[in-house]
Amino acid sequence: MALSCSILCSRLSLTRLSGLTTNRITHGFYLQDVSCQSRLPLCKHFTSSKVRRGIGRYVSSRIQWANAKYEDFLKRRFPRFFLLYHTFKEGFKMLFQDAREVKRIKTKMLTKGAKFHDLHYREMEKLRQFRRDLIKAVPLVIITIPPFANYLIFFLMYFFPRQLLIPHFWTPRQQLEFRKVYHSHRTQHHQPVLKELEDVSQQVKNGHLQGLLKNLCTKVQRGGNPNVSEILAVRSLFSRAPLAMNTMSNEQMRHISPLLFLTPRLPGFLIGRRLNSHAVELLQLDRALSRMGPHQLSDWELKQACYVRGMNADSLDTSQSREWLSQWLQVSSALKESELSLLLHCMVLMSANYPSAASRH
């Protein structure tokens, strides 16, 4: 390699000097002989940059060739391991792309003085999801720092993908499977939330509103889906005790927390603060989505929007998903921030039985 570089430099130097001589003879200019001291720096500068670029292109092409051969070998001989390897590589690409996008959004917020609720829906959703993913991904990134630690990641991906990895490192099949598992954990708290809500209705002094709330709980418990008007008819109850955000019982908050994938194993006052923060964020997302128009969502974004709000739309077709999300936004757009407790309860009231034959009478 060193010999080749020397030959290349010599040829480039001769070519450059030949050019100077030709110009002198052709145009008839009188040019004094240039000393070696004046020629060498020029030749060195001219040739070294060319050589560096040539070597860089050569090394890059060889690395790409070796990587392609390695991937082809894995694909032929170890297809299951190749799937993990490919998922790992593409996952990191997506993670770094998300990081760059979040940096752009944060810069926009700093330079233009924009608040979270002023952002576009997709920007708000990107910040929300990246924050959740980052908390889980930081230990994973730290593990990959030592040499050859990526093989440990493959081990974790194979045996504990749902518990330790974020969706960036899940295969498409795993994403569907794990969303179903996580949603099944949420559905375990549907009946406790409804039971607690029914018990609390006994404390409502207004007889008419008490009856409406009881009927609402009974309808859902019997497999029906309440319509938007039935939900909004009891909205005033969720702005004051005992159903307002700051007056809910600890037991009710512990049942609602898993609906948002929050741990219920915290002191009551911390659970209340986290629930209120997530409820405000969800309301702001709903308002941004209403401004943008839910019809602009792609199929993947539509399913993700439903999932965040308590509905696993993987088993629904596009029209059913859009219908459910439209009903959710009708309720959400009519609520005030003082009625956020109802928005959290809607994750059960509106999704527990949708779609079902009982709701189509």
Residue type at position 312: N
**Cβ atoms of residues 167 and 175 within 8 Å:** yes
Q: What is the pLDDT of residue 225?
A: 95
Q: How would you write 161-220 as a 3-class SS string?
A: HHHHCCHHHCCHHHHHHHHHHHHHHHHCCHHHHHHHHHHHHHHCCCHHHHHHHHHHHHHH
Q: What is the pLDDT of residue 51?
A: 66
**Cβ atoms of residues 314 and 321 within 8 Å:** no
Residue type at position 104: R
CB atoms within 10 A of CB 215: 15
Q: What is the pLDDT of residue 165?
A: 85
Q: What is the pLDDT of residue 139?
A: 76
State pTM to two decimals. 0.76
**Cβ atoms of residues 68 and 61 within 8 Å:** no
Alpha-carbon distance 123 to 132, whole Å? 14
Q: What is the pLDDT of residues 299-326, one digit of tens each?
A: 999 999 999 999 999 989 999 999 999 9
User: Cα torsion at 284, 349, 254, 176 (round to 10°)?
Assistant: -80
Q: Which ranges of the chain have pLDDT less than 70?
A: 1-52, 70-71, 74, 148-150, 154, 157, 357-361
Q: What is the pLDDT of residue 50?
A: 64
**Cβ atoms of residues 314 and 215 within 8 Å:** no
Share of the chain above pLDDT 70, in %: 81
Report the Cα–Cα distance between both ends of the chain, in Å, rounded.
81
Q: Where are the domains of the chain?
A: 2-20+39-77, 79-169, 187-359
